[in-house]
């Protein structure tokens, strides 16, 4: 079995989602969101992000990780801060010797929905369709992280979804 950690980086909300790949079959395992305290300094928020990701990795022991690549915002300051959060999100699994793959938002959407310009609702619907046991109350950032993990799983040869009869 292979456990894949999907990560949707953000300074305010970082989504994480774990799926299991057992042979060619994929299943939901866990998901959530890290919400660093916005009253903290940038350095403190990045440290909190690292600490929380470290706890997730130590608790669930993923074998591989996948991270969404940063897109450029209109606001360069926001883009730089997102890049710093993304650096922490890439670094933390790497410190545990977990391979980290990166995918663009369009790659993820195309792999999950079939269209590179799908909206968040379409991605969420397909995540729930593909992973039938995803809880109803899962936050959007966690759903996005599951989509990233699914994209990574689909990029691996011999993966298909278990269909219920």
The residue from 20, 68, 124, 144 that is catalytic is: 68
The residue from 8, 20, 64, 124 that is catalytic is: 8
The residue from 20, 52, 64, 141 that is catalytic is: 141
Residue with tokens 């990233």: 148
Query: What is the Rg, in whole angstroms, of the alpha carbon atoms belonging to the chain?
Result: 15
Active-site annotation holds for 68:
yes
Entry field: residues in the chain: 165
Active-site annotation holds for 141:
yes
Active-site annotation holds for 124:
no
Q: What is the pairing mode between strands 64-68 and 25-34?
A: unpaired
Contact in structure between 151 and 116 (CB atoms under 8 Å): no
**Cα gap 28→84, rounded to integer Å:** 29
Active site residues: 8, 68, 141
């Amino acid at each position: 079995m292979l456990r894949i950690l999907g990560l949707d980086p953000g300074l305010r909300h970082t989504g994480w989602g774990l799926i299991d790949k057992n042979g060619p079959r994929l299943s939901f395992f866990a998901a959530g969101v890290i919400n660093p305290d916005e009253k903290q300094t940038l350095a403190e928020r990045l440290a909190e992000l690292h600490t929380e990701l470290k706890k997730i990795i130590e608790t669930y022991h993923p074998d591989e990780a996948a991270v969404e690549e940063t897109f450029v915002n209109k606001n360069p300051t926001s883009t730089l801060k997102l890049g710093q959060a993304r650096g922490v999100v890439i670094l933390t699994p790497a410190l545990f010797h977990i391979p980290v793959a990166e995918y663009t938002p369009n790659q993820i959407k195309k792999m999950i929905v079939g269209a590179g310009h799908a909206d968040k609702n379409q991605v969420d619907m397909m995540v729930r369709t593909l992973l039938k046991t995803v809880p109803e109350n899962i936050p959007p950032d966690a759903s996005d992280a599951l989509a990233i993990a699914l994209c990574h799983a689909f990029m691996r040869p011999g993966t298909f979804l278990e269909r219920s009869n």
